[in-house]
Amino acid sequence: MAASKSNALNWFLHRITGTFLIFMLITHFWVQHYDHQVASVTHEVVTEKGAMPDYPDAAKEGVKAKFGPDAEATPYQVVMQRLADPVYAVLWKGFNILFLIVALHHGFYGLNNVLTDYIRNPMGRLVARSLSWTVALGLFIIGLYSVITAGW
């Protein structure tokens, strides 16, 4: 079967995607958590219903500069700030699509390795493999849609 013949390639790819993911995750974490202007997750606990996290001044000013003096720094607007510039929008969307593909391949190939270790029946393996890659494909389509349409 073609799938079992290409296992060496997948084994190799798993290490390549893993190495790539380290660098992509550093970028992803930096943008989402540590950049004072564009991080949509702030270091604040919110317990009240309907309350929004408070953003740093850099984020508030950034949102006002892009969307006018009345614009509020809500999580959505903070993300939109990054996509407001067409050049950055294309860069971020490209980065996130690549990130999505690499993460899904790495995660679901790894999951299949685990499943193959515990499922011994060949039919069971085939079912598990088909199901998990179907889920991965579904997530790819959902993720791709979210990335492309974000900010429209």
Partner 1 sequence: MAVDTQDRPAATAAENESTATQDSRFQRYRVRTGMFAWLMHRLTGVGLVVYLVIHIWGLKSLSDPETFNALIAKYHSPLFKVGEFALLVAVAYHAMNGLRIVLIDFLGWSPKQKRLFVTLGAVTVLIILVGGWPSIYALGEWLFGPGTMPSLFL
- String of contacts with partner 1 for each residue 107-126, x by CB under 8 A: xx-xx--x---x-x------
Establish how many alpha carbons lie within 13 A of residue 16's alpha carbon, considering only the half-sphere containing its beta carbon.
9
Q: Of the listed pieces 1-9, 44-52, 62-70, 84-92, which binds partner 1 according to CB under 8 A?
A: 44-52
User: Of 34, 35, 40, 150, nearest to 95 (Cα)?
Assistant: 150
Task: Give the torsion through C-alpha atoms of 143, 144, 148, 152, to 10 deg.
Answer: -40
Contacting residue, 3, 6, 27, 34, with partner 1 by CB under 8 A? 34
State the alpha helices, DSSP H only, in 2-149: 2-5, 7-29, 57-67, 75-83, 86-118, 122-149
Under the criterion CB under 8 A, does residue 5 sit at the interface with partner 1? no
Under the criterion CB under 8 A, does residue 88 sit at the interface with partner 1? no
Q: Which residues contact partner 1 by CB under 8 A?
A: 15, 18-19, 21-22, 25, 29, 33-34, 40-47, 50-53, 74-77, 79, 100, 103-104, 107-108, 110-111, 114, 118, 120, 135, 139, 142-143, 145-146, 149-150
